[in-house]
Structure 1
Amino acid sequence: MIYRVFLIVACALLSLAMLDAARAQDSEGACGGSYTGQDRASYPCGPTRKPYCQQGTGRCQCLERRACGGKQDEEW
């Protein structure tokens, strides 16, 4: 029984560690910057937004940031 609990806890911790490692590879650009989409086109962000890209999936979007003068910090 203790081994099962230990195994479940170990798997949960490993999953969290992998998620943190994936997040560490994400990148955030400069205020008002732009990003290149998977179609190789360039997409500009507004002055209160920063381009944010997930390195694991290659997906990008412009997120509002307070540091750029925005009203909130948007989540992915």
Structure 2
Amino acid sequence: MSENIFFNPGDSIASDFDFNKAYVSAQIYRHKAEKPVLIVQEKDGRPYFIFDEDAAIDQETDEAKKFSVIKKI
């Protein structure tokens, strides 16, 4: 089941082509900020982006791109 969401890539906390590295970065941010974090990807072969879910949704702009949610932490 795929969930799509729109974000501005410039608002990401981090990005990485390796899911495991992106996942570790997301866990660190989640632990420090105590806020929900999303790991998303535009399409296969593209980097994974990490977003603070609440902040990113509040900042939707015309520059937003469509991403698939890979993991919610």
Q: Please indicate, yes or no, whether the TM-score normalized by the shorter chain is above 0.5.
A: no
TM norm structure 1:
0.31
Between structure 1 and structure 2, the one with the greater Rg is: 1
Between 1 and 2, higher relative CO (CA 8 Å, sep ≥ 6) is seen in 2
TM norm structure 2:
0.32
